[in-house]
């Protein structure tokens, strides 16, 4: 499609399939996710799906990796702007509905396949380094990390959360470098 002299980038079939799987996880339960359903929602053939993802677990692993990459991309945007304060990033991540929605579906999937947690564990090691490098006090870094995770899981589980004003006050109370 051409719009104002520009061509729209065409989405790869692999991304289309991942979007379909993500949509199923967002709107339905993990139990509704099947290769047949992914093919149906994507509009691609099951053979096309199997070319890219031979199993449901391979789809889920790709979704986990994409979620981690999306988080890393958001983080990199802050770093490029010179805003490498992890506290600011926590506000963004915990107010990003798309990221929360995807993570919610993947969290359910990890109860069926514990291997899906391994890339998350590796990413957390990287993210922890960033957090701990931001704080001069290791105990304060741990308090922030636990706060961040608690806030993220409140978002995942639709539990009550502080208002934006309360959240900013809490985050500003952490004593980084």
Q: Which two tokens stand for residue 163?
A: 């208002």
**Per-residue pLDDT, 95:** 61
**Per-residue pLDDT, 171:** 75
| Residue closest to 130 by CA, chosen among 70, 72, 65 | 72
pLDDT, tens only, 96-146: 777 777 777 777 778 778 888 899 899 889 888 877 887 888 998 888 888
Half-sphere exposure of 63 toward its Cβ, with a 13 Å CA cutoff? 36
Q: Are 35 and 14 a contacting pair, CB within 8 Å?
A: no
Query: Radius of gyration over alpha carbons of the chain, in Å?
Result: 19
Biggest alpha carbon distance in the chain?
55
Count of positions (residues) in the chain: 177
Per-residue pLDDT of the chain (177 residues; tens, 9 = 90+): 444 555 556 779 999 999 999 888 877 767 788 999 999 999 999 999 999 999 999 999 999 898 888 888 877 776 666 555 556 666 556 667 777 777 777 777 787 788 888 998 998 898 888 778 878 889 988 888 888 888 888 888 888 988 878 877 887 777 655
| Residue closest to 65 by CA, chosen among 116, 5, 127 | 116
């Amino acid at each position: 499609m051409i719009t104002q002299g520009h061509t729209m980038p065409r989405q790869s079939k692999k991304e289309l399939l991942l979007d379909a799987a993500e949509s199923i996880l967002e709107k339905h339960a993990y139990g509704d996710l099947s290769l047949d359903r992914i093919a149906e929602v994507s509009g691609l053939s099951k053979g096309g799906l199997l070319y890219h993802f031979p199993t449901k677990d391979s789809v889920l692993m790709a979704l986990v990796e994409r979620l981690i990459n999306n988080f890393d991309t958001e983080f990199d945007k802050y770093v490029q702007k010179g805003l490498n304060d992890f506290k600011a990033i926590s506000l963004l991540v915990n107010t990003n509905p798309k990221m929360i929605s995807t993570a919610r579906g993947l969290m359910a999937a990890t109860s069926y396949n514990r291997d899906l947690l391994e890339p998350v564990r590796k990413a957390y090691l990287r993210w922890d380094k960033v957090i701990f490098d931001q704080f001069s006090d290791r105990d304060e870094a741990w308090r922030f990390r636990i706060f961040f995770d608690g806030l993220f899981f409140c978002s995942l589980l639709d539990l009550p959360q502080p208002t934006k004003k309360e959240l900013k006050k809490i985050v500003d109370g952490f004593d980084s470098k």
